[in-house]
Amino acid sequence: MPDAKAEEIVVFGRRFALAVEGPDADRRFSVTIREIVTGRVLTRTPVRGRSAADARDRALEVMHNLLGIERLHEILVDVARELAPGAEVDLVEDARAIHAGLTGGWELTVPFAIPRDEVYDPDFDPDSVRELIREHFAAHLRRAGA
């Protein structure tokens, strides 16, 4: 349950509480993001900004980005569980894309890559991305060391 001064936000069907604090000694505001159902804090440190509104806007951007990556990871794990049982999914990010590879008894001869902007897009379609991932795995999946 969020505390009395926390704002409730729903992102990708999940409920979060945003608690704004400040200003601190540096005249900065901080936002803590907590998932309401699990109580999990989304970031290790609060998101900061020069005003309460700036900190809140930054927190919303951070939420969408992190939750978009989590959602992509869940899809990758589901497809890997189906097509490469026992494999672990490794994500690597760069400035433009998120890359996925496999470790364990399986590997991808070409890592799966998707532009970051697509993952962060509010219109991101998990079902069509799942199909792209499945097609990529089918084309590039092999037993490790084979």
Tell me what pLDDT residue 1 has.
44
For 74-131, what is each residue's pLDDT tens digit?
999 999 999 999 999 999 999 999 999 999 999 999 999 999 999 998 889 999 999 9
For 40-49, what is each residue's pLDDT tens digit?
999 999 999 9
Length of the chain: 146
